[in-house]
């Protein structure tokens, strides 16, 4: 069964460093998402991406964040200058069409020291 994959599974970085989290959505999917889950808290929406542009973003998704689909398979989330409070599990998700369910990847645990 096709699945969303994410790399790395765990990323440790120093405060102020840039990180790129990578996702490979399911191949025929058109809608892409990033969510995050701070330890012990709710899963929160960050951004949605469709037709090579951001379609919606939350208040969390400030200028330090960016997303890109550099080729036909990868979908990345970049954090330019990480802060301690960026430590969280980051989930990528994808969806085939406008009435389909979202499928989530296994997540990348980001730890900012």
Partner 1 sequence: GEDVEQSLFLSVREGDSSVINCTYTDSSSTYLYWYKQEPGAGLQLLTYIFSNMDMKQDQRLTVLLNKKDKHLSLRIADTQTGDSAIYFCAEPNSGGYQKVTFGTGTKLQVIP
Binding site for partner 1 (CB under 8 A): 31, 33, 35, 42-45, 48, 50, 55-56, 58, 91, 93, 95, 98-99, 101-107
Which is nearer to partner 1, 75 or 95 (by Cβ)?
A: 95
Which is nearer to partner 1, 10 or 80 (by Cβ)?
A: 10
Smallest distance, Å, CB 104 to partner 1? Answer: 4
Alpha-carbon span 27 to 88, nearest angstrom: 26
Smallest distance, Å, CB 81 to partner 1? Answer: 25
Which is nearer to partner 1, 11 or 103 (by Cβ)?
A: 103
């Amino acid at each position: 069964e096709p699945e969303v994959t994410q790399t790395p599974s765990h990323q440790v970085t120093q405060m102020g460093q840039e990180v790129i989290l990578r996702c490979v959505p399911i191949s025929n999917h058109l809608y892409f998402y990033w969510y995050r889950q701070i330890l012990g808290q709710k899963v929160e929406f960050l951004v949605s991406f469709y037709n090579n542009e951001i379609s919606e973003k939350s208040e969390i998704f400030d200028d330090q964040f960016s997303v890109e689909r550099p080729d036909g398979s990868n979908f990345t989330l970049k954090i330019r200058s990480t802060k301690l409070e960026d430590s969280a599990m980051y989930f990528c998700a994808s969806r085939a069409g406008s009435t389909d369910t979202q499928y989530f990847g296994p997540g990348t645990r980001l730890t900012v020291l």
